[in-house]
Structure 1
Amino acid sequence: MSKRPHIRFIVNPTSGPKSSVDVAARIQQHLDHQKYDHDIVFTTHAGHAPELAREAAEKGCEVVVAVGGDGTVNEVARGLIHTETALGILPKGSGNGLARHLQLPMALDGALQVLNKGHITTIDSGNINGHPFFTTAGIGFDAYISSVFAGNKKRGLQTYVELVMKEVRSYTHLPVKASINGQELDTDCFVMAFANAAQYGNNAYIAPMADIQDGLLDVCLVRKLDFIKALHLSYCMLTKQLANSGSAEYFKTEHVQVQTEEAMMFHADGEYLGKAEAFDVQMLPLSLKVLVP
């Protein structure tokens, strides 16, 4: 590495809506080259970004920037947990949950200016069954929607809401047993979301009170849901009113354990991970450095 701080940009060429924007050209044009050296690398397969991020951190890179959506941000951040290298984000996805929570500009040029200013803070991260997450993880319906959404060619909030309205009619809530702060819950579960940040993405707020630096998960439990309640819940999420809606219950905790009678789907940062009958969810306080406005 040279004497100037080095930034590595990790680009997911398949992330987000199709765009004619030349990311490399924008970086060349708007990055402060008096302040930083940089390189740009492209992912070629799932799981490639953590390797590229970890490699950069080991070489002493000051900042590694995820250029893509929530999946790319998750992969890059995974490679940077508990290192001195900070995560930067150039939002290029359909949801951009962490970028929105951190109040980063959605425009590429504005996000590059955040990098130029170089303001670094430290945030919490979470872990569900060994899988790191930085915005939300969850079991139940939101994980099911993640699995369906992943196979859909259309992206964006409208597509997500349409899928929710279509699938909510046939999805069956399941019984779970959860241990939260020493309290044992034996309950039906439509969704149990574990929030580090306030929103899933697209300004859909599942836990509007969540603080990404308090070392605590905001656990959101929705026990049962029919179509009419789903409409109301969706509206409340988009207006930050879910906590006051009566549709969800909230708990703050460092650690959650959940047992299910049959395997339930789960996700981390919107990426569908499969099914399990036991879930261990915990916080890693102040474990990731990030660039913020």
Structure 2
Amino acid sequence: MTTPHDATAEPAAEQREDRGPLRTAVIVNPNRVDGLDELRASITEQLTDAGWPEPAWLETTAEDPGTGQARKAVEDGAEVVFVAGGDGTVRACIDGLAGTQTALAILPGGTGNLLATNLGVPTNTIDGVQLALDRGRRVMDLGEVEGKTFAVMAGMGLDAAMVDDAPTKLKAKLGSVAYVFSALKHLRDPQMKVEVQIDDHPVLRRRARTVLVGNVGRLQGGVNLLPDAEPDNGEMDIAVLAPRNLGHWIQTAFAVLRPGKNRVPNMEVLRGSRITVTSDRPQPRQLDGDVIEPSKTLAVTVRPDSLWVCVYQPDSSEDLTEGS
């Protein structure tokens, strides 16, 4: 792929050029963010002090976790949409922003904050708003499964079961550690037999405990499972994990946690732009931590250059995919 896959699609000098104030909207998950009045006042003050207009304010609901609000913001002319909430809120809003010129500005507020972590986005509101004001932008690919988009990772098997079983209260108390307790419950789950079709290559037949399709590589707790994954190369990395016992899981975990790009035992890494994983029986599935209906199939299509994200200016971070 060509130039849009640099750290930003526009030259840094053009990004720094003052093109006037931008229209913005804030989409907030009231169940994930405390102190809504204070948050609204803080964001509004920071924007107006910079000469930008007051943002539109939209709250998610149980019926609409963010997609409709993001579409409305775009229709109303927002050029930047701030999203305050967890990974699920961010993913839902991405569904509404995909394919538009409106930039996503993440204000992390959940347990994992996976997209923010992978892009090196700050985790506090003041710095997050300043990132948008500085006009650093990056265009990235998205994955699509059954009409739903994801920016980080899709999973089938143990990974999705782990996400589904992590109690909300435990996640609130322990953060990403809650997923460890959930994973332990599924370590003895039987392997699945899968067929993996990548682009037009021959079908691969494997036994696996979980299959992950990653646009970026970092998981909960900062674990860099797919260090070569790039969010703007038109492809995604596929990890087929097949530990058969506790000893294998320990080997795999130790290799993943070691610094550097090492071969990980019991894990095969593939790459492509059209990926279909078919299991011998229905499996739990997840997109960026959102559990979707179980199925025998996980079919992912890469949508290149589909989402603009507010990031640091390219000279502020040498590798935006490594986090900060």
Residue 113, structure 1, aligned to residue 124, structure 2? no
Q: Among residues 21, 32, 41, which one is paired with 1:25 in the alignment?
A: 41
Residue segments in structure 1 that go unaligned for 5+ positions in a row: none
Structure 1 position 101, deviation (Å) = 0.8
- Name the amino acid aligned to 1:252: R
User: What CA distance in whole angstroms lies between the structure 2 residues aligned with 1:47 and 1:20?
Assistant: 19
- Name the amino acid aligned to 2:43: I
Structure 1 position 240, deviation (Å) = 5.4
Q: Among residues 267, 273, 276, which one is paired with 1:248 in the alignment?
A: 267
Whether the 8 Å CA contact 2:252–2:265 is kept in 1: the answer is no
Whether the 8 Å CA contact 1:134–1:196 is kept in 2: the answer is yes
What TM-score does the superposition give when structure 1 sets the normalisation length? Answer: 0.91
Residues 15 and 204 of structure 1, relative CA distance in 2, 3 Å threshold: farther
User: What CA distance in whole angstroms lies between the structure 2 residues aligned with 1:243 and 1:232?
Assistant: 12
Structure 1 position 174, deviation (Å) = 0.8
User: What CA distance in whole angstroms lies between the structure 2 residues aligned with 1:109 and 1:187?
Assistant: 47
Task: Identify the structure with the greater helix proportion.
Answer: 2
Q: Which residue of 2 aligns with 1:36?
A: 52
Q: Which residue of 2 aligns with 1:214?
A: 233
Whether the 8 Å CA contact 1:195–1:206 is kept in 2: the answer is no
Task: Identify the structure with the greater strand proportion.
Answer: 1
Paired residue secondary structure (1:153)? helix
Q: Which residue of 1 aligns with 2:30?
A: 13
Residue 104, structure 1, aligned to residue 121, structure 2? yes
Residues 110 and 179 of structure 1, relative CA distance in 2, 3 Å threshold: same
Whether the 8 Å CA contact 2:23–2:52 is kept in 1: the answer is yes
Paired residue secondary structure (1:261)? strand
Whether the 8 Å CA contact 1:98–1:201 is kept in 2: the answer is no
Pairs within 5 Å for 1:252-267: 252-267=271-286
Whether the 8 Å CA contact 1:188–1:224 is kept in 2: the answer is no
Structure 1 position 6, deviation (Å) = 1.1
Residues 260 and 166 of structure 1, relative CA distance in 2, 3 Å threshold: closer
Residues 243 and 131 of structure 1, relative CA distance in 2, 3 Å threshold: farther
Q: Which residue of 2 aligns with 1:287?
A: 306
Structure 1 position 256, deviation (Å) = 0.9
Q: Among residues 93, 96, 104, which one is paired with 1:76 in the alignment?
A: 93
Residue 137, structure 1, aligned to residue 137, structure 2? no
Whether the 8 Å CA contact 2:105–2:129 is kept in 1: the answer is no
Paired residue secondary structure (1:167)? coil
Q: Which residue of 2 aligns with 1:173?
A: 191
Residues 29 and 228 of structure 1, relative CA distance in 2, 3 Å threshold: farther
- Name the amino acid aligned to 1:34: A
Q: Which residue of 1 aligns with 2:169?
A: 153
Residues 200 and 115 of structure 1, relative CA distance in 2, 3 Å threshold: same
**Over residues 149-195 of structure 1, what are the superposed CA-to-partner deviations in whole Å (9 max), with x where a residue is unaligned?**
2x441111211122222331x31111111112413111111111000
Residue segments in structure 2 that go unaligned for 5+ positions in a row: 1-19, 313-324
Structure 1 position 33, deviation (Å) = 3.8
Structure 1 position 90, deviation (Å) = 0.3
- Name the amino acid aligned to 1:164: A
State percent identity of aligned pairs: 25
Q: Among residues 246, 252, 256, which one is paired with 1:227 in the alignment?
A: 246
Structure 1 position 20, deviation (Å) = 9.0
- Name the amino acid aligned to 1:173: Q
Whether the 8 Å CA contact 1:222–1:249 is kept in 2: the answer is yes
Residue 193, structure 1, aligned to residue 212, structure 2? yes
Residue range with higher mean Cα deviation, 280-289 or 258-267: 258-267
Residues 64 and 238 of structure 1, relative CA distance in 2, 3 Å threshold: farther
What TM-score does the superposition give when structure 2 sets the normalisation length? Answer: 0.83
Structure 1 position 243, deviation (Å) = 5.1
Instruction: Give the RMSD, CA atoms, in angstroms.
Output: 2.1
Structure 1 position 107, deviation (Å) = 1.9
Residues 32 and 103 of structure 1, relative CA distance in 2, 3 Å threshold: farther
Whether the 8 Å CA contact 2:191–2:209 is kept in 1: the answer is yes
Residue range with higher mean Cα deviation, 27-36 or 186-195: 27-36
Q: Which residue of 1 aligns with 2:291?
A: 272
How many correspondences in the alignment?
288
